[in-house]
Structure formats: C-alpha cells, structure tokens
C-alpha cells in the first residue's frame, strides 16, 4: 500500500507524447490530496497547497523519462487550523525539521496506459523506494502557444514506515494519497 501514494503523484501515459520534452509543474493545475481514518469512524481529508516539480518524457525511449515532485510540509491544509498545526508539529510531519516531502524517480518503464515509475520517496527524514503507475499524458495547447500534459495516480503509504507513529489508536496508519498534475513545456 505504501506504493500507492507515489502512484498518485506520478501517473503517465506514454502514447500521447509526440517528442522528447521537459515540463515544469503548473501549480494552478496540480494537487496532492489525502485522506486518513479517524478512530475508524470517518475520514479526515486534506491537501498540500504548495506543490512543485518537473518531469521529462521521451516516447521513443520511455526509460529516459524522469519525474521530480516537492511538497512543502507547512502547506498542509485540512480546513481546521488547530488540527493543521498539530499535523505540522513534531507529533506528525514535524514541518520545521522536515520542510519538504519529495519524490525523485530512478527508473521508468512503459506499461499499458502509462508508466510504471520507481523512485525514492522522502518523508519525515526517511527515504524509501516506491513503485507506482502514472496515468494520463494527453497533450493540449492552452492558452495558445503553451504546450501542456498531465498525469495522475492514487496510492497508499503507512505513516509508521516513515517514523510517524504517534496517536495510531486514533489516527489511521494508512494514508491514501491522490496526485494530479499538469506540466507546461519548457
């Protein structure tokens, strides 16, 4: 399940690309959201408001594709200030000590309807390899003269595997993550 989160972040379809290209994430059209169980009774939903990154794709050789994502821990938002401050504290993300959650691909291969992406996922100072599927990759020109493409994924990670173990009796261990992003061609 821990590979699920990374999968959300990096969904890609190889077929739509016409040529090798480098893209920068468009923050206005990119999102990382999550949900986690509270007492096994309900879900708490949230998002990260500050997401940046870049990726490259080469349809002639998918193994040359790469993906990088950086999420500012401080940008966590569950629409509850008190809860957000607690989630940013040393009890959970420890945003002051670990200001960025990141992913850097190490291998990419084409699969049906996208890519299988493997890389290093870093959270709370712990780096773990993960593999996930990226879907998407269609291209559009919008506004005129701006080439863009987008991807999405869904995954799950266990927060305890990243050293975030407090309050497991109240807050679930599995975090379900969705990632959707558009990039503009550099």
The two structure tokens encoding residue 133: 């599927």
What pLDDT, on a 0 to 100 scale, did the predictor assign at position 135? 94
Could you please report the per-residue DSSP string of 144-167? Answer: TT-EEEEEEEEEEEEGGGGT--TT
Share of the chain above pLDDT 70, in %: 90
Is the CB of residue 131 less than 8 Å from the CB of residue 118? yes
Place of tokens 């990119």: 30
Mean pLDDT on 151-171: 94
The number of distinct structural domains making up the chain is 1
**18 confidence band (pLDDT: 50, 70, 90):** low
Q: Is 91 left (phi over 0), alpha (psi -120 to 50) or beta?
A: alpha
Higher pLDDT, residue 59 or 168: 168
Within 8 A by CB and 6+ apart from 95, the residues are: 72, 73, 74, 76, 88, 89
What pLDDT, on a 0 to 100 scale, did the predictor assign at position 58? 82
What stretch of H or E contains 23?
strand 21-25
What pLDDT, on a 0 to 100 scale, did the predictor assign at position 8? 38
Cα gap 128→121, rounded to integer Å: 5
Q: What are phi and psi of 72, to 5 degrees?
A: -80, 120
Query: CATH no. for residue 53?
Result: 2.40.128.110
Please say if the pLDDT value at position 19 is more than 90.
Answer: no
How many residues are recorded in the chain? Answer: 186
Please say if the pLDDT value at position 136 is more than 90.
Answer: no
**59 confidence band (pLDDT: 50, 70, 90):** confident
Question: Whole domain around residue 140: which residue ranges?
Answer: 2-185
DSSP for residue 49: S
Mean pLDDT of the chain: 89
What pLDDT, on a 0 to 100 scale, did the predictor assign at position 16? 42
Share of the chain above pLDDT 90, in %: 79
């Amino acid at each position: 399940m821990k590979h699920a989160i990374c999968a959300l972040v990096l969904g890609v379809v190889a077929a739509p690309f016409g040529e090798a290209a480098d893209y920068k994430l468009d923050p206005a059209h990119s999102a990382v959201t999550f949900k986690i169980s509270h007492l096994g009774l309900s879900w708490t939903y949230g998002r990260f408001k500050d997401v940046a990154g870049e990726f490259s794709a080469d349809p002639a050789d998918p193994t040359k594709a790469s993906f990088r994502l950086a999420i500012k821990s401080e940008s966590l938002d569950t629409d509850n200030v008190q809860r957000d401050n607690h989630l940013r504290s040393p009890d959970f993300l420890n945003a002051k000590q670990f200001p960025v959650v990141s992913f850097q691909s190490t291998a990419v291969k084409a699969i049906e309807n996208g890519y299988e992406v493997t890389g290093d996922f870093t959270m709370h100072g712990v780096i773990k390899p993960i593999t996930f599927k990226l879907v998407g990759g269609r291209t559009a020109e919008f506004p005129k003269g701006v080439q863009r493409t987008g991807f999405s994924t869904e995954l799950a990670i266990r927060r305890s595997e990243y050293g975030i173990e407090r309050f497991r009796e109240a807050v679930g261990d599995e975090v379900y993550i969705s990632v959707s992003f558009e990039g503009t061609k550099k």
